Each structure stands twice: as C-alpha cells, then as structure tokens.
Amino acid sequence: MKSDISVIILTHNEEKHIERCLRSLLVFTDKIFIVDSGSTDRTVAIAESLGAKVVYNPWITYATQFNFGIENTPFQTKWLMRMDADEYVMPELANEINQTLAGLVPTITGVYVKRRVMFMNQWIRRGGYYPIWLLRLWHRDKGICEELWMDEHIKLSEGETVQFKNDIVDHNLNNLTWWTQKHNNYAIREVIDLLDIKYNFAEAERVIPKLFGTQEQRKRYLKQKYASLPLFTRPFAYFLYRYFIKFGFLDGKKGLVWHFLQGLWYRFLVDAKLFEVEFRVGKDKQAIIEFFRNEYGKDLSSVQNRPVSVRQ
C-alpha cells in the first residue's frame, strides 16, 4: 500500500538523474508532481513515462518555483515531500516512510531526514557534511519555501517535527566543469543573500535564526555570523575549520577536491563578487538593486509569480 504523500520536484535538463530519482520514490508513492522550467533534453519524456505529472513554469527563483509547486500540485495528499532531481531515496528510507508516516500523531507536521552527499562517487562523511538534517516531509498547508535567493528551507507554520532514521542521497552525475559553472551561478545568488542580511531588500517568510534551534535555524544563525566576518579572511577560516577541525582531511583525495572547491574556492568567489559590487556601485541600497537588475536581470526588491502552461 502506498503512503499518503506526494512529491514535488523542480527540473531543468535532468535526463541523467530523473529516472533514478523517480524509481526510488515509486516504492512509497506514485503521486509525483514535476515543475519543469523548459528542459530541452529527455527529462519530461522520461518523467511522464514513469507516471509523473509535469507542468511548465518559467524560472524566477527556486523559492518562487517551489511554492508554485506547492500551490498547484494536483494531488490532495496529507503529506508533501521535497526532492531534487539529482537526489534519490535510500530503500531503507522508502520502507520507513511506508511503515511509519501513517502512524505519526496529528501534532507532528514535519519530518526531518538525513542527506548524504556523494562527490565523484564517494560519500563525503566528514567536514560537517554528515549528517545534514533537512525538513523534507510536511503536512500540506503547513509549510512553504522561504523566499530567499539561496539556502531556501521549508518553513512550518505550526506543529512539531520528528526525525526519521534513514537517508536521501545527493549524487550529481555531471562533470566537474558543470559543477564549477553551477557554483559560479550559485555565487551570484549567495552574494544577494548575504547583502539581503544587511539591506533587507524584500520582506519574506523566513526561518528564525537560532544557535540551538533546528539545523536550518542554526545554519541561518551561523550564516549571519559569517556575514559579519572580514571579507576574504572568512573563506580561509571556514576551510581550515572544515578540513582540519571537522576532519575533512579523512575524506581522502576526492574529499580534498570537494572541501577545497566547495569550502574555499566557492566562498572566496562569493567574496570577490561582493567586493565587485562595492567597487562598482558602493554601498547604496538602491544602486545595488539597480546593479543586479542591469547586470544579471535579477529584481531584488520583488518577485512576481508568472502564469503557468501545462504540458499536454
């Protein structure tokens, strides 16, 4: 018997990953809703062949796209689940969902699961990268995705949470050139997110920062503290903390590549882009908004929903 849950996935050219993802979900649900932003490969065909419902919606931000998915899912299940196309559910977690979800008391409105990150086919176990607890299952109408440019979390409006024992796996199969290009784009969003801490470009629902709260609350708290550290010194401090104090060096050569690129190179790139913003337009809030509108086509002051077209 399938669980009373549907899954929302955002896609764009994910033909390498989507079948693996969907087959891991079909163990516990056949209600899968995909919001695609214009794939030109076989993503949509593969998804539909496996029974997923696919709609097209133009990309604005991750949060806008995912909240569109929440608001427009055709499935009226008690629970919703968030997945990325390059992730999959471990068989143990699929069984845990089937066996445990229906028996949760009504006051439980959210479920945390662990994410394990794979890089070059290796599980990154150290450097603070496992376990990463993420709120991925929640009662419909009880959660939304934060309207942020980066590190968006599901925010519950009420209720309590529990932790399941087993994992989802983040295992992207693209090459390192793709990875660095992706993180170059991520860096722009990260810059906006860090500037938003200072300038508060737009009011939005957000996770409340707490050092001793949930993992996403703690992450938000630490991010705010990180934002207050000196430019260009904080990437090195973060890498040293991750690689030595959190034993990232025990992840071997592949771990060195991961922790250096994700923990130092990427963070330094973010700081360089922040430095460029100040060099180009200074610290005036409106000038910064105009800079991102003109240079990157991103509107920091507001995000508007756009109409949807359904694929027939």
Q: Residue 205 in contact with residue 285, Cβ under 8 Å?
A: no
Distance in angstroms (rounded) separating the CA atoms of residues 7 and 102: 16
Question: Which of the pair, 39 or 61, is modelled with greater confidence?
Answer: 39
User: Rg (Cα) of the chain, in Å, rounded?
Assistant: 20
Note the pLDDT of residue 133: 95
pLDDT at 147 over 60: yes
- Per-residue H/E/C for 210-277: CCCCCHHHHHHHHHHHHHCCCCCCHHHHHHHHHHHHCCHHHHHHHHHHHHHHHHHHHHHHHHHHHHHH
Supply the pTM of this predicted model. 0.92
At 49-82, the pLDDT tens digits run 999 999 999 998 899 999 999 999 999 999 999 9
**Which has the minimum average pLDDT: 71-75, 125-129, 170-174, 212-216?**
212-216
Specify the range with the lowest mean pLDDT, choosing from 19-28, 43-52, 214-223.
214-223
The reported pLDDT for the residue numbered 249 is 98
Assess whether pLDDT exceeds 90 at residue 219: no
In this predicted model, what pLDDT tens digit does every residue of 260-305 receive, in sequence order? 999 999 999 999 999 999 999 999 999 999 999 999 999 887 654 3
Q: For 245-257, write each residue's pLDDT tens digit.
A: 999 999 999 999 9
Cα separation, 59 vs 311, in Å, equals 16
Label residue 306 by pLDDT band (50, 70, 90).
very low
φ/ψ of residue 148, rounded to 5 = -120, 165
pLDDT band at 204 (very low <50, low <70, confident <90, very high): low
pLDDT at 302: 61
Model confidence at 310, in pLDDT bands (50, 70, 90)?
Answer: very low
What per-residue confidence (pLDDT) applies to 312?
Answer: 33
Average confidence score pLDDT of the chain = 93
Q: What is residue 308's predicted lDDT score, i.e. its pLDDT?
A: 38
Residues 175 and 181: their CA atoms lie apart, in Å, by 10
